[in-house]
A = this chain, B = another copy of it.
Amino acid sequence: MSAPDNAAAGAVPPDTGAPPAAEALVTALMTRDRFSQWLGIEVLEAAVGRAVLRMTIRDDMVNGFGTSHGGILFSLADSAFAFATNAGGLLSVAIDCSVSFPVAVRPGDVLTAIAIEQSTTKRLAFCDVTVRNQDDVIAGHFRGTVYRTAIPHQL
């Protein structure tokens, strides 16, 4: 593969000494994130304070009622929350999260999570994640708070 092609692929940013760009950082996080990989999560968008993820519910993700286990939707939203709040370049760790479940989710459903940072302070960031199903119905309202450490991410 030629150098221009490689640069076009964009996975490896040039070494400029600047913090890694949001997309490259989220790609690196996703590469190491074995549980998000098991979930089949795809990253549709990644930017500072914003991430959009998608996944399809499988038969091995059900609870005892035959619907999607609540932990599956939470995990999708939690990954979106982590990507959005870490994309700015500082290691940020979850403190408190909440989730509400307006409707049941079932195998075959396709969930899309949109995470948007709502406000940030020196040490905290507050982020909302809305999860919709393939019919554009809201299946989950997630909200999370991170503690922003002073440690920059390194790829």
Contact = CB atoms under 8 A, between A and B. Distances in A.
A118 B102 CA distance: 10
Interface of A: 28-36, 38, 59-66, 69-72, 74-76, 78-79, 82, 86, 91, 93-104, 118-121, 123-124, 126, 128, 130, 137-138, 141, 143, 145, 147
Contact of A74 (B29, B71, B82): B71
Contacts of A96: 95-96, 98-101, 145
Contact of A60 (B35, B102, B103, B137): B35
Main secondary structure of the interface of A (DSSP, over half): mixed
Given A35-B62, A60-B38, A141-B118, A98 B97 contact: yes
A30 B63 CA distance: 8
A154 B94 CA distance: 31
Contacts of A72: 35, 71, 75
Nearest to A32: B64
Given A95-B145, A102-B120, 20 more contacts: A29-B63, A33-B69, A34-B60, A35-B60, A65-B91, A69-B79, A71-B75, A71-B78, A74-B75, A74-B97, A93-B101, A95-B100, A96-B98, A96-B100, A96-B145, A98-B143, A102-B119, A103-B121, A141-B143, A143-B143
